Structure 1
Amino acid sequence: MPGPVLHTGASATCPHGGTLNIVAASPRVQVSGMPAAVLTDQGLVAGCAFTVPTNKPQPCVTTRWIVGATRVTANGQPLLINPCVAMCQSAEQIPGGPPIITGSQTRVIAT
Structure 2
Amino acid sequence: MTASPRVTVSGQPVVTMASTYTVAGCTFPAMTSGAQPPCATAQWTTAATRVTSMGQPVVLQDSVATCVPTGTPLLVTTTQPRVSAM
State whether TM-score is above 0.5.
Answer: yes
Q: Which runs of 5+ in 2 are unaligned?
A: none
- State the alpha-carbon separation in 1 of the partners of residues 61 and 8 from structure 2: 16
Q: Distance in 2 between matches of 1:38 and 1:77?
A: 6
User: 1:95: Cα distance to partner?
Assistant: 1.7
Equivalent in 61, 64, 76 of residue 85 of structure 1: 64
C-alpha displacement of 1:96: 4.4
If the length of structure 1 is used for normalisation, what is the TM-score?
0.64
Match of 1:73 among 35, 44, 52: 52
Percent identical: 44
Long gaps (5+) in structure 1: 1-21
Q: From the superposition, tell whether residues 96 and 50 of structure 1 become closer, same or farther in structure 2 (CA, over 3 Å).
A: farther
Read off the aligned partner of 2:52 and give its amino acid letter. Answer: T
Indicate the structure whose relative CO is greater, using CA pairs within 8 Å and at least 6 residues apart. 1
Could you list the runs of 4 or more consecutive aligned residues of structure 1 that deviate by over 4 angstroms after TM superposition? Answer: none
RMSD of the alignment, in Å?
A: 1.8
Q: Deviations over 1:26-82 (max 9, x none)?
A: 311111211101111121112312038xxx363411111111100111111110111
Mapped partners of 2:78, 2:43: distance in 1: 19
Alignment: residue pair count: 82
CA shift digits 1:6-43 (9 cap, x unpaired): xxxxxxxxxxxxxxxx322x311111211101111121
C-alpha distance in 2 between matches for 1:51 and 1:77: 33
Report the AA paired with residue 12 of structure 2: M
